[in-house]
Amino acid sequence: MNINFQSSNPAASLPLPPGDLGLPFIGQNKTIIKNPQKFIEEMYQKYGSVYKRRFRGKNYIYFQGYEAIKFVLTNENKYFTYFQGFRNSKTIFGQSDMTLLAGKEHKDRQKLLAKAIKSKTLNNYVNIIHDLSQSYFLKWMKSDYVDLYSEINNYTLDILLKLLLGIDYASQSEINNSLTDMKSGLNTVPVAFPWTKLGRALESKKKLFNQFEQIIVRRKKENDFGSDILGILLTVQEQINQELTAREIVEQMVNLLFLGRKELSSALSSFLILTSEHLDILKLLQIEQEKLDSSEPLSLAKLKKMVYLEQVIKEVLRLAPPVSGGLRRVIEDCSFQGFRIPKGWHIYYYISSVLQDSEIYKEPERFNPERFNSVNAEDKKKPLCYIPFGGGARECIGKEFAYLVIKIFISALMDNCSWKFQENQDLTINTFPVARPAHKIEACFRPR
């Protein structure tokens, strides 16, 4: 008697996606590290929207194109969960860092933090962002040329820590050095002797966390928590009776600081570089600014009138998204386009393959802010087709906050300054892993 055993898993009999895993442990490390952006684009051309590769001893399936990435983003916690690519993330950022949480725990933490930076609280930050932006412009205008990315990186650190914890001019303090040490230790050899990168990272973490915890403990003793994001978070905790420890709050603040700084620095530098190549667009931006009532104080309502500025920002973020992609781990066997996606494997999805999809965006390589006006509305063609800050359950919770800072910074810049770059500089933007200038760029700012 013949007995046919049928697998309860319909994906089990399907083939793996195409691609070459390479040698065990070695995989495709050299090829990927040398030029990851080029590698990803070449593999997309060769294999299509889903293919396999081995990287740093782990089996990966790469997802590219609209349908593939939508599949990943809409199946969070069903087939996929977040995977942190840095080997020392938990050691440096802590166990309760929101990006490392999953399922209901992640959803609850995200909801709590979102309450502290929701749109109705953003109006409290408008003048702070505007004033700090202007102070930087005044400093830049006193120099012949400034290192663009370095200065913007200092600006984003100052603005974020002022709004998160009420700390002034953090870029001029030891905080900047501590953050640099912590970043250096993220993907290094996991050996924590004092002279190793990880050892220095953990020592800097200890100093930074202690400093931030002292601020939190002091605030909790005061009747007035303050109006920055920490103060709002402490108030919200009381209201909904969902209290985090001081250490848990610090871990969330440090996470917001690292991600926010990276994304804001990317967006602002990309804006200045890309628009400098389109003087006609800068002229239209200037005209929009001049039409606004100068006697009307800056507010969220006034910022909403800057419709063309918003379109230009969206186009910059489409061409140079601050988040190049995302990592996931497969928690349940599944299938996509006839291929098996095995449990235990890892996923990488590449955001630019959606943002430059010619079936969604007409002439995707062209810088065209008009694609986002109310008539064309190319970003509304399909769900999850405009995802510069990621999408789905793990979309950046600070997205609206980031747009606010970018819009105020650029609006104030247009009012105060003109800018140009040193001649014969390479203005290439590397888009992987984070969009940023490929080389040092010197910029000159002058009064308008």
In the prediction, which pLDDT does 41 show?
80
Residue 438 vs residues 272, 415, 418, 430: alpha-carbon distances, Å: 14, 28, 23, 5
Q: Which CATH class is domain 1-94+324-395?
A: mainly alpha
Instruction: Going residue by residue through the chain, which has 448 residues, state the pLDDT in tens, using 9 for 90 and above.
Output: 444 444 456 667 899 999 887 766 555 555 666 677 778 888 888 888 999 988 877 899 999 999 999 999 999 989 999 887 777 888 888 776 666 666 677 777 777 777 777 656 778 899 999 999 999 999 999 999 999 999 999 999 999 999 999 999 999 999 999 999 999 988 888 888 889 999 999 999 999 999 999 999 999 888 778 888 888 888 887 776 677 888 988 988 898 898 899 999 999 999 999 999 899 999 999 999 999 988 888 888 999 999 999 999 999 999 999 988 889 999 999 999 999 999 999 999 999 999 999 999 999 999 999 999 999 999 999 999 999 998 887 777 788 889 999 999 999 999 999 999 999 999 999 888 889 999 999 999 999 8
**Is-contact 88 191, C-beta < 8 A?**
no
In the prediction, which pLDDT does 2 show?
45
Burial bucket for residue 306 (CB in 10 Å: 0-12, 13-18, 19+) = buried
Q: What is the 3-state secondary structure (H, E, C) of 320-350?
A: CCCCCEEEEEECCCEEECCEEECCCCEEEEE
Domain ranges of the chain: 1-94+324-395
- Residue 414: in which H helix or E strand, if any? helix 399-416
In the prediction, which pLDDT does 112 show?
74
In the prediction, which pLDDT does 4 show?
44
In the prediction, which pLDDT does 32 show?
62
- Encoding tokens for residue 79? 């087939």
Classify 271 as helix, strand or coil. Answer: helix
In the prediction, which pLDDT does 94 show?
79
In the prediction, which pLDDT does 25 show?
58
Residue 147 vs residues 73, 193, 322, 355, 437: alpha-carbon distances, Å: 37, 34, 20, 29, 11
